[in-house]
Structures are given as C-alpha cells and as structure tokens.
C-alpha cells in the first residue's frame, strides 16, 4: 500500500472524527439555546414554532452556501436540525408542566367516594342523559349491584342540533345526585358554562369537561378553582400536547386531581362515530402523572364493538373506562345506538373480569399505578 496515501487516509479519518465531535458540540449548544428560547417564549405567551422565522433562517443558509453540498442537501440537513430542536423544546416543555411526568415519578392516585382513581381499574357508567327519576333509579340500582361506584349522566347536553334533547338542567342534577346517594355512588357530570361551575359542583363529585370544551380556557380555569376533581376529555381534533396544556390550565388554578380521557378523534372513517386513538393511552401514561381513562361509548358510537375496545384500552394501560348504560337503550332520548343495556353491561364486566383486566366486585382494590399493562387483549 502506498504509505503516503495511507497516512493521508488516516489523517482525513481523524479530521472527520474531530469534525463529528465539533458538530455534535454545536448541535447540543443549539439545543441549549432552544431551551432558553422556550422559557422566554412561554413567558411571553408566544408559540414555540415560528414557521416564518424558520423559512428566513433556511433562506439565509442557502444564500451563504458555497458547496460542495448542493442547496437541496443543505436544506434537508437543516430542516432535520430545526425539527429536532422543536421536538426538544416541546418535550422539555411538557416535562416541565405541573401535570407532566418526570422520569421514575409515580402516577397520581386519589380517592373519589369508594373508588381509588389511578390506583385501581375504575369503570364509570350511566346513561348519556338524565331523563327522569325512574330511569336513574333503575340504572343506579343495577350498576351499584355490579360493583360500579361512579355514576355518570348528562344534565346539560351539548348537542349538534339545537332541537335535540339537551338535558333537564338543574333538575337532572338533583335526580342523579339523589339516585347516587341511595346506592352509595359518586357522581360525574358535564359542566358546559363558567356560570354553572358552582351549581354543578354542588351536585357532582367530579366535574367533566367535554370534548367540545377542551379549548375553553376560561371554563378550565373556573373548574380548577372549585375544589372538585376534573375529568378532561380530549377534543375532537386535539393533539396530545394540546390535551396536556388544557390540563395545565386546571392545575395552575390549584386542582391537581385531573383525569384525562380519550374519547376518539374525528377522522375520515364513517363506520364508527370517532376513531379511538389507542396509542394515546401509553403515550399519555409516559408523559403525565395523571390517570388516563377511555370513553369507549363515544369512541365507537355503536354498542356492538364496545367489548373489544374495552379490552384493548385496558391492555394498553388505561386506568379506567367510561361506558354509557341505559335501562332501555332503544328508547333513550340521546345516543341510543351506543348505550348498553344493564344485561349487556354485566356481560362486559364479566368478560373483563374473566380476562384479569378488572377486579372482581367486592375484591380489594389492586394498586396498579405503575403496573405494566397486560400483554394481550
């Protein structure tokens, strides 16, 4: 081998390694600057991503490029650098949230009535809407006998059509509270208006913020002040970081007992009411200390696939389910197609218990805050 060429080869390889280390050092320095920018932008309430500034930076780089890399290659490289820097800013931003989860930090757990939210698998059930006293007494008695400890029901219903049944209002709150009290159950119901937070809180043990109101920051703040746990549903087209930012609005007002709920997102699919993003469960479990639930009824919009969705949700690590149950689904005043009868709901519970995804009724709660999800559905 020509020794001169070999020596030159070795020298060039050493120089390449030195340049690699220099580039790595500069990349990490750039990330550190991005981290400082993140803090300033948050203080000024500015978006983390500024596409126009990114475009100007890229244009300046291409104007200064003297080769040998072609402009196309330079553009690809720096776009990846920009993307990585933005990802670092977003990851660090979420990690610093009050609701964020630092590495090795345990998940939150808190008591609501007889249920340990975040510490055992909890099933919340009840009708889509409170319709009358007879309906609520039947469903509360039936669910309580099956071991369900949290009763759901809508007194104020956000409906697409203003002519659809929109709930009984405060009378519905009273009916549900009295039925729950007779059977030793806690109550969760939706609050839709900042003016109604105090009223709903007088009847409910958990305040639900529905998907349509996930971006209603005034409502989130008011709910965070009232002193009751908050059940926050993911918006119809919300990203996971947007869901966490909404939860942060609640936490900043002092309420840390927040439950996140995925209820499906809107896609092009028409076979189901929404598309259940099952990946959101493990992703949220890794990013936040908050308990994560899945509303399988609103995700599906149909009752025939609720059992496999329930199994998949729990297997993915969900700490609870929300299921709509009605004594006579065929005559329900809202969402009749997605509500289970009491008999069908009993079969669902038995299926989940038989698979080890749900504790037997009356058995001591199993603390599963950091337990790995079951391996199979």
Residue 164 tokens, joined: 């659809």
* φ, ψ for residue 351, nearest 5 deg: -65, -45
pLDDT of residue 64: 94
The Cα 111–Cα 269 span in angstroms is 38
Q: For the chain, how many helices (H) and strands (E)?
A: 12, 10
Which of 86-100, 132-146, 248-262 has the least mean pLDDT? 86-100
Per-residue pLDDT reduced to its tens digit, 299-344: 999 999 999 999 999 999 999 999 999 999 999 998 899 999 999 9
CB 241 within 8 A of CB 87: no
Which of 160-164, 215-219, 244-248 has the least mean pLDDT? 160-164
Closest by CA position to 123, among listed 337, 299, 346 = 346
Residue 91 tokens, joined: 């990851």
Collapsing DSSP to helix, strand or coil, 215 comes out as coil
The Cα 155–Cα 141 span in angstroms is 19
pLDDT of residue 44: 83
pLDDT tier for residue 164 given thresholds of 50, 70 and 90: confident
pLDDT tier for residue 360 given thresholds of 50, 70 and 90: confident
Query: Topology of domain 110-354, per CATH?
Result: TIM Barrel (3.20.20)
The Cα 316–Cα 33 span in angstroms is 37
Closest by CA position to 148, among listed 136, 156, 140 = 140
Which of 177-181, 223-227, 235-239, 366-370 has the least mean pLDDT? 366-370
pLDDT of residue 170: 95
CB 97 within 8 A of CB 248: yes
> Whole-model pTM?
0.75
Domain boundaries, the chain: 3-95, 110-354
Question: Across residues 3-8, what is the average pLDDT?
Answer: 88
pLDDT of residue 367: 41
pLDDT of residue 91: 67
Is residue 375 pLDDT above 80, yes or no? Answer: no
Contacts 24+ apart (CB under 8 A), 269-277: 272/299, 272/300, 272/301, 272/302, 272/305, 273/298, 273/299, 273/300, 273/301, 273/302, 273/338, 274/236, 274/298, 274/299, 274/300, 274/301, 275/299, 276/300, 276/309, 276/312, 276/313
| Cβ count within 10 A of residue 307 | 16
pLDDT of residue 1: 63
CB 319 within 8 A of CB 117: yes
More confidently predicted of 104 and 194: 194
More confidently predicted of 43 and 140: 140
pLDDT tier for residue 270 given thresholds of 50, 70 and 90: very high
- What is the separation of C-alpha 46 from the centre of its chain, rounded to a whole number of angstroms? 24
Query: Topology of domain 3-95, per CATH?
Result: Chorismate Mutase Domain, subunit A (1.20.59)
Question: Across residues 78-98, what is the average pLDDT?
Answer: 80
Closest by CA position to 247, among listed 225, 269, 277, 217 = 217
| DSSP label at residue 236 | T
CB 171 within 8 A of CB 132: no
pLDDT of residue 320: 98
- The mean pLDDT of the chain is 90
Percentage, residues of the chain above pLDDT 90: 75
Closest by CA position to 315, among listed 117, 121, 148 = 121
Per-residue pLDDT reduced to its tens digit, 40-82: 887 787 888 888 999 999 999 999 999 999 999 999 999 999 9
The Cα 345–Cα 351 span in angstroms is 10
């Amino acid at each position: 081998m020509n020794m001169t060429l070999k020596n030159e080869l070795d020298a060039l390889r050493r120089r390449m390694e030195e340049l690699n280390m220099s580039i790595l050092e500069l990349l990490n320095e750039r990330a550190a600057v991005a981290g400082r920018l993140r803090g300033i932008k948050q203080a000024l309430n500015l978006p983390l991503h500024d596409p126009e500034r990114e475009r100007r930076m890229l244009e300046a780089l291409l104007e200064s490029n003297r080769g040998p890399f072609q402009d196309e290659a330079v553009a690809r490289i720096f776009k990846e650098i920009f993307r990585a820097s933005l990802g670092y800013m977003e990851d660090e931003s979420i990690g610093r949230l009050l609701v964020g989860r630092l590495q090795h930090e345990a998940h939150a757990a808190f008591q609501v009535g007889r249920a340990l939210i975040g510490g055992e698998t909890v099933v919340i059930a009840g009708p889509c809407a409170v319709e009358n006293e007879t309906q609520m007494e039947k469903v509360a008695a039936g669910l309580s006998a099956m071991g369900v400890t949290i009763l759901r029901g809508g007194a104020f219903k956000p409906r697409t059509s203003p002519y659809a049944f929109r709930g009984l209002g405060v009378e519905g709150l009273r009916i549900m509270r009295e039925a729950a009290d007779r059977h030793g159950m806690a109550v969760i119901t939706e609050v839709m208006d900042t003016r109604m937070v105090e009223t709903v809180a007088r009847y409910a043990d958990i305040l639900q913020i529905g998907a349509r109101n996930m971006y209603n920051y005034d409502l989130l703040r008011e709910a965070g002040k009232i002193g009751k746990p908050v059940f926050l549903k993911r918006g119809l087209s919300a990203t996971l970081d947007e869901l966490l930012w909404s939860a942060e609005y609640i936490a900043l007002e002092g309420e840390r007992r927040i439950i996140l709920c995925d209820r499906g997102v809107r896609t092009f699919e028409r076979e189901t009411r929404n598309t259940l993003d099952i990946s959101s469960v493990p992703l949220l479990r890794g990013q936040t200390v908050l308990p994560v639930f899945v509303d399988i009824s609103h995700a599906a919009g149909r009752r025939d696939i609720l059992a496999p969705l329930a199994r998949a949700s729990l297997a993915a690590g969900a700490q609870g389910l929300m299921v709509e149950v009605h004594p006579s689904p065929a005559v329900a005043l809202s969402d009749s197609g997605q509500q289970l009868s009491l008999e069908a709901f009993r079969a669902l519970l038995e299926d989940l218990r038989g698979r080890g995804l749900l504790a037997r009724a009356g058995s001591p709660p199993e603390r599963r805050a950091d337990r790995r999800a079951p391996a199979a559905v």
